[in-house]
Structure 1
């Protein structure tokens, strides 16, 4: 027996180390964490049904450790090496997101665990964006950005060595796993010393603030970490009382009885001092804290309805009015589990109750009857992924609240996958397979 550390254990160790580092770098993130924990505790105290449900579905234990982070890289080799780094932690690329349509010159994937047990242990995710250099309009500047990126290595030599060792021997022992986490963390650390002169930084910043963020630093610093809350409206409301300035709008669907997909908000990005390599000093604004509230994952049919209604609702400049408008438009989206299930709008995880274990279902028995009899329990499957419109909204609000209407026109999944060195997994297929496995465990399908 090789006695390697499990990918889940390495992922948990890494996510905790990253959270500790980010709290040191961005102290307001620590304040945000405390606020989210307080709101979650109060929500669970006030709603025993929710607490019991989360506990029975094995969702409660992951709530306080759940995080997602976001990073941005500049070239294909960096993205490919990140894929290999995250594989050590049992995280794989899921979904393709084209943010250029919303004025952000990147396309992205989310590295995350994909199997049920790993998600229960620690569903840590890293939303990873690759800069689309071809969207820099100034040809001279585009070439300069490519040269700057080609000259840097965002991974330590020891980190590269340990990734190779993991690939060759099929795992890492405890000591090497601990070293791997320490070395991997260096890739995501903030550097206040820019790798470019002040003139280059300002020229790239003028093109797009995100381009400057990606190109002008020696690493791909973590630009936000996100705890999960059970009541995002309450967190948004309370942030100012903790000295935190929230972004204007909560992104995503409205507040509902049955939360769907993902709602996100954040505090405004910090203005941080930067020293350029010509000795000039300046400031850089990119890093912030984000909060998310996750709901049930929608089927392709449910997602099509969501996208249509979101487009119809548009966007506002005042959160209260925006949420009221969303709520009006989303009356057309069923808000009870039975209808979501019966109309195949959302994914569910099925399990046998004690009654169902005593009288197991036979193949062919009607699922709705079994649920009504209390023999089968249907738990909503948590949405583990992201929404491109919301991601772009978060990015834009932290790049100065001004939308830069820059559309690339063409989404380019094929070029992204070439850079990545693999295909991205289809999130809808993962949800469908999970629902199917749960039906098989109940004996309802072969």
Structure 2
């Protein structure tokens, strides 16, 4: 990248703002949601100045109001491989592999996001990107028809493809090209009310799985939700009805805790939108339901040990009660979740000392007497180091499937056998996905090394 090139971080920030503006215009309830989250966040920080100071100290305060994640669903390997190249222009790489077949959804996924801590602080825009798995659809003839429709569509503008190639060849984009790229890339994510299929084929796809119909039937992978980050998801959930927004009955993820962990998500019901299908001689009016609004609260990134405990407790909870999309057993599920997760430590010191979570270290206090041979835990106890939780930047497959199903209906949950195929996904992607635990472990280790070096200089 030359001095005349716009940084990937800046292009990403511009694209995220453009996407948010487009989605606000297409789905007005999303704008209401963003305003509600901003009000809740302001109230939370007003009553908790210590948390505001902590976020300021870590450089995370400014990013929260801008933070968004989106989600798209792609149909072919070619679409996925090109999407990887498109996001690379914005400094976003594929992190993690998610098999949603375990929860009855015929896709597997990754999350495109920045990975450098400085880039995350500037703008942590993420896009959860799923690839349809037609191999999980039993009807062989329907699979062939769907594949034919998908192969014929082109979801990227020619100008967008040219700019991706130019960025790759020249190591970046100029100001004019960056502006053009944001505008052209946005077209891929725009809603199109004109379908690629007849209503009869749409119904067959819909009957196979509602998500299959969403992916196959349209000209492009319309962004199906954008998600602002809140500091108190329970407050947002409680206030949504007062804003004229009906939330899903159950917040996905762990229960409410003193120390938030991983990711909690809720959403409002998907819109029913008018669709013009290809003529089959009847020209009957049609509709489609897919796009919704979502809110998330992010907490401590868990180590493999912590993730294993989370997964075990969630499985135990769902063995007692699995939340239904209509919310009819919400109270039963929440009670089971809270009861089961009482076994998960809920204070920062235990989480850190027993290795359940990742932490970022920084030097504090008077280091002149510091014994740098001591462990990180001993230096924290001695007041030489500060340990702050590293924010979880990724996703949870069961939660993602739960959000999908709450907006697609109970009938969307089908009995697919767990069928992970990371090797095939990476082949279609054209690159390996980054291991998220490696990223968090490296961030923790790097922060500790820097903190020890800073202490050493102070002692010297």
- Size of the aligned set, in residue pairs, is 444
Structure 2-normalised TM-score? 0.94
Aligned-partner Cα distance in 2 for 1:421–1:140: 28
CA distance in 1, matches of 2:375, 2:202: 63
Matched, 1:346 2:357: yes
Cα separation, 2, equivalents of 1:362 and 1:433 = 24
Equivalent residue runs for 1:96-135 within 5 Å: 96-135=97-136
Alignment of 1:69-108 (within 5 A): 69-108=70-109
Deviations 1:225-270 (A, max 9, x none): 0000011111111111111011111000011110000000000000
Structure 2 counterparts to residues 40-51 of structure 1, below 5 A: 40-51=41-52
Shift of 1:152: 0.5
Matched-pair contact (CA < 8 Å) for 1:360–1:443: no
Structure 2 equivalent of residue 385 of structure 1 = 394
SS where residue 69 of structure 1 aligns? Answer: strand
Q: How much does 1:363 deviate? A: 3.7
- How big is the shift at 1:55? 1.2
CA contact (8 A) 2:95 2:113 kept: yes
Residue 320 and residue 51 in structure 1: after superposition, are their counterparts in 2 closer, same or farther (change >3 A)? Answer: farther
Separation in 2, partners of 1:406, 1:187: 32
**Counterpart in the other structure of 1:372:** 381
Counterparts of residues 168-183 of structure 1 (less than 5 Å): 168-183=169-184
How does 1:128-167 map onto structure 2 within 5 Å? 128-167=129-168
- Structure 1, residues 61-97: CA drift from partner, whole Å, max 9, x if none? 1100000000000000000000000000000000000
Provide the C-alpha distance between the structure 1 equivalents of 2:47 and 2:412, rounded to a whole number of angstroms. 39
Partner of 1:332: 343
Cα deviation 1:108-151 (Å, max 9, x = unaligned): 00000001100111110000000001112111111000000010
Q: Find the residue that maps to 1:90 and give its secondary structure.
A: coil
Cα shift at 1:18: 0.2
Aligned-partner SS, 2:196: coil
Partner in structure 1 of residue 309 of structure 2: 305
Shift of 1:101: 1.4
- Tell me the distance in 2 between the aligned counterparts of 1:2 and 1:304: 45
The secondary structure found in structure 1 opposite 2:360 is strand
Matched, 1:260 2:261: yes
Instruction: Tell me, in whole angstroms, the C-alpha distance in 1 between the residues paired with 2:107 and 2:55.
Output: 36
Question: What is the Cα-based RMSD across aligned positions, in Å?
Answer: 1.5
Aligned residues of 1:70 and 1:223 also touching (Cα < 8 A): yes
**CA gap 1:235/1:17 in 2 versus in 1, 3 angstroms:** same
Aligned mates of 2:161, 2:417 — CA distance in 1: 34
1:287 paired residue among 285, 291, 296? 291
Q: 1:409 maps to what in 2?
A: 418
Write the distance in 1 (CA, Å) between the matches of 2:301 and 2:447. Answer: 15
How far apart are residue 375 of structure 1 and its match? Answer: 1.9
1 CA distance for matches of 2:22 and 2:10?
A: 18
Contact persistence 2:93–2:113 (CA under 8 A) = yes
Relative distance call for 1:319 and 1:232 in structure 2 (3 A) is farther
Partner residue of 1:441? Answer: 450
Please report how far the alpha carbon of residue 404 of structure 1 lies from its aligned counterpart in structure 2 after TM superposition: 2.1
CA contact (8 A) 1:250 1:319 kept: no
Checking the alignment, whether the CA contact within 8 Å between 2:255 and 2:337 is kept in structure 1 is yes
